[in-house]
Chain A
Amino acid sequence: MLQVDFEFRYDRSGAATAAAPQTAPGVVCRWQDPAAEPRVTVLLGASGSGKTTVLRCLAGLERPQRGRIQFGGHVWFDASTGVHVPPHRRNVGVLFQDYALFPHLSVARNIAFGASEMSRTAAARRLEELIDVFRLRGLETRLPRALSGGQQQRVALARAVFRRPQLLLLDEPLSALDRPTRDEVREDLRLLIHELAIPAYLVSHDRVDALTLADRTIVLDDGRVVQAGPTQEVFDHPATAAAARLVGIDTILLGRITAVRDGLARIQVEGRDVWAEAPADAGHEAALCIRAEDVALARHEVIDSSAMNRWRAVVRSEAREGPFVRVALDCGFHLSALVTRDAWQRLGLKPGDEAWAVAKAASIRSLPRG
């Protein structure tokens, strides 16, 4: 789909982007989408890594100095031939970070802003359809300022997809929201993106977004792509230290929900069972986040513990971290445990030894996915 190979340099005045101050002098980007089916890609990077600039180059709002951007059969940008298709001819839907809803237009007129090339009846039909899909019925005549953050995002997304764009670009769609709303809206967004079946690129600094929304993850650091691949692979084997920092050093597992009972889910990861709270509105897949400090170790299987998760493991390595020891375990999946040095000495374990890892179901964060 997208074939990207370009270089963009910020001009010295810094006037090139409206985005946050940049640390890198520019952005160098190169990747190629593998398949033609609609998929969600997250551009993951810390602030200042240039991820928003990449998105703006894809939208046509910025013009790189060098290289080429091609989408399907369309050349959007080619420095060598001077081609630069302006944003209004790319048929791309963009969701801006703060939504950029037109403050003087009602919800309905915001959504139908892109209707100029449609017939009146086609536009009206499309508007009705989107108002249903995005659950905006009853809000049609409101102005954007009279909407909640979540509603504003739904209006902005409905507006972005009104013209049936070939590609969706979402810039930090969740960062404008407070924490509880964010989790709720992320869930909305996940369902909507799948329902719309439009390939999407999503910029984020939050690995939870990548884990819950993305088939593919592209990691950006200091204006460069440091890793691109299936999300699972990127999170399992971060290619660089920067990538590892972004995806986090604690354990993140992707698994399949095999049973749900009384709000508790059994999730199969690499052939092992993990018990955790069932993710809200779960499909078949879940992402599990396990903090290293929530994992306890034992020499022998503990049968009289309240903890639901007891995994036989092999100690891979140990590393001192202040008063603690960080232990890497192989339970079939990789697991990180953080224990006190006293406890570690008392256990007398060393790399290669067999041990048991214990984690309470309540301490595992489970997120719906897929």
Chain B
Amino acid sequence: MDWIAVGVTLKLAALTTAALAAIGLPLAYWLATTRRAWRPLVDAAVAVPLLLPPTVLGFYLLMSTGPDTLAGRVYARVAGGTLPFSFAGVWLASVLYNLPFAVRPFAAGFAAIDRRLLEAARCLGASPVRTFATVVLPLSWPAVLAGLVLAFAHTVGEFGVVLMVGGNIPGVTRTIALAIYDDVQALDYGAAHEASALLLVFAVCVLALTYTLQRRTPAV
């Protein structure tokens, strides 16, 4: 078993999930409550990775963050180094690619909350942030947890984007999914079997957990 790849995978999945919680929760809350006319556009932008081959997203990311691009130069000035073929680059790609897997369950959970409860909280002096913390989250935590678990699991299993943007560098951007690919290329079926079985068991457990969460409503 390639434990270094396991480590990279878990680190990537954990950081991606954390970033999705930070970006995805406010974004999903906005999507679930806004009345703006251009909301469907944002909805569509979030959902695009569901339809797009990962290679397309990876390709555009490479093109837009290379050392000669504006984004690439800004990144080099601020952080040093380049985004493509680095862990940070894979992280960014992973966050973008997993946005729908987190945001859509979040938004569905938020939208299911009676709007009057949010209005009641506002009329009782609660700011939007406090309303979110004291009313929205307690009433939608199974959906939020399901979204986080799905995003984590999907990152663990991601292949195309990681390969395109990360370039399969051992110890830096090589995840288990990429390691399996390398094992098969090298005809090392024993190692491929071990890693594949690990991912299969993991995927089944995660899905069982998400379906359990989806059936569950908060204890009220």
Interface of A with B (CB < 8 Å)?
11, 15-16, 18, 59-61, 86-94, 96, 98, 100-104, 113-114, 116-117, 143, 145, 159-160, 162-163
What's the nearest-Cβ distance from chain B to residue A196, in Å? 16
Residues in A with CB closer than 8 Å to B124 are 88, 113-114, 159-160, 162-163
- Chain B residue with Cβ nearest A96: B116
Known: A102-B135, A103-B220, A145-B220. A18 touches B116 (CB 8 A): yes
What's the nearest-Cβ distance from chain A to residue B69, in Å? 39
CA distance A61 to B119 in the complex (A): 7
Question: Given A18-B115, A59-B123, A103-B139, 18 more contacts at CB 8 Å?
Answer: A88-B122, A91-B125, A94-B123, A96-B116, A96-B119, A100-B117, A100-B119, A102-B120, A102-B135, A103-B117, A103-B220, A104-B220, A113-B134, A114-B126, A116-B125, A143-B220, A162-B124, A163-B125
Known: A15-B35, A16-B35, A145-B220. A100 touches B116 (CB 8 A): yes
Task: Please tell me the number of chain B residues within 8 Å of chain A, measured between CB atoms.
Answer: 22
CA distance A87 to B139 in the complex (A): 22
- Taken residue by residue from 126 to 164, chain B's Cβ proximity to chain A (1 for < 8 Å, 0 otherwise) reads as 110010001100110000000000000000000000000
- Ordered by A's residue number, 25 sampled pairs between the chains whose C-beta atoms are within 8 Å are A15-B35, A18-B116, A59-B119, A61-B123, A88-B125, A91-B125, A92-B123, A94-B119, A94-B120, A96-B116, A100-B114, A101-B120, A102-B117, A102-B135, A103-B220, A104-B219, A104-B220, A113-B124, A114-B124, A114-B125, A114-B126, A116-B125, A116-B130, A159-B124, A160-B123
CA distance A93 to B124 in the complex (A): 7
Residues in A with CB closer than 8 Å to B35 are 11, 15-16
- Chain B residue with Cβ nearest A163: B125
A86/B117 in contact, CB under 8 A: no
CA distance A89 to B127 in the complex (A): 9
CA distance A90 to B126 in the complex (A): 11
CA distance A116 to B120 in the complex (A): 15
B218 near A: Cβ within 8 Å? Answer: yes
Residues in A with CB closer than 8 Å to B120 are 94, 96, 100-102
Residues in B with CB closer than 8 Å to A160 are 123-124
B121 near A: Cβ within 8 Å? Answer: yes
Known: A88-B126, A102-B135, A104-B138. A113 touches B220 (CB 8 A): no
What's the nearest-Cβ distance from chain B to residue A17, in Å? 10
Interface residues in B82-118 (C-beta closer than 8 Å to A): 114-117
What's the nearest-Cβ distance from chain A to residue B209, in Å? 22
CA distance A323 to B180 in the complex (A): 92
Residues in A with CB closer than 8 Å to B121 are 102, 113
- In the A-B complex, the 3 residue pairs with the closest CB atoms: A103-B220, A100-B116, A100-B120
- Chain A residue with Cβ nearest B124: A114
Residues in A with CB closer than 8 Å to B218 are 104
Residues in A with CB closer than 8 Å to B134 are 113
- Chain B residue with Cβ nearest A145: B220
| Secondary structure class of chain A's binding surface, majority of residues | loop
Other-chain residue from A61, A117, A162, A163 in contact with B122 (beta carbon distance below 8 A): A61
B130/A87 in contact, CB under 8 A: no
Residues in A with CB closer than 8 Å to B116 are 18, 96, 98, 100
- Chain A residue with Cβ nearest B217: A103
What's the nearest-Cβ distance from chain A to residue B158, in Å? 35
What's the nearest-Cβ distance from chain A to residue B39, in Å? 10
Residues in B with CB closer than 8 Å to A143 are 220
- Chain B residue with Cβ nearest A59: B123
Candidate in B116, B134, B138, B139 with the most chain A CB atoms within 10 angstroms: B116
Candidate in A15, A18, A93, A104 with the most chain B CB atoms within 10 angstroms: A104
What's the nearest-Cβ distance from chain A to residue B207, in Å? 27
Residues in B with CB closer than 8 Å to A163 are 124-125
What's the nearest-Cβ distance from chain B to residue A44, in Å? 23
CA distance A143 to B126 in the complex (A): 21
B220/A87 in contact, CB under 8 A: no
CA distance A272 to B95 in the complex (A): 81
What's the nearest-Cβ distance from chain B to residue A168, in Å? 11
Residues in A with CB closer than 8 Å to B127 are 88
Residues in B with CB closer than 8 Å to A86 are 122
CA distance A114 to B123 in the complex (A): 9
What's the nearest-Cβ distance from chain A to residue B118, in Å? 9
- Chain A residue with Cβ nearest B120: A100
B220/A88 in contact, CB under 8 A: no
Residues in B with CB closer than 8 Å to A159 are 124
- Taken residue by residue from 29 to 57, chain B's Cβ proximity to chain A (1 for < 8 Å, 0 otherwise) reads as 00000010000000000000000000000
CA distance A60 to B116 in the complex (A): 13
- Chain B residue with Cβ nearest A144: B220
- Taken residue by residue from 193 to 220, chain B's Cβ proximity to chain A (1 for < 8 Å, 0 otherwise) reads as 0000000000000000000000000111
CA distance A160 to B124 in the complex (A): 7
CA distance A143 to B139 in the complex (A): 14
- Chain A residue with Cβ nearest B35: A15
What's the nearest-Cβ distance from chain A to residue B63, in Å? 38
CA distance A331 to B105 in the complex (A): 69
- Chain A residue with Cβ nearest B113: A103
- Chain A residue with Cβ nearest B117: A100
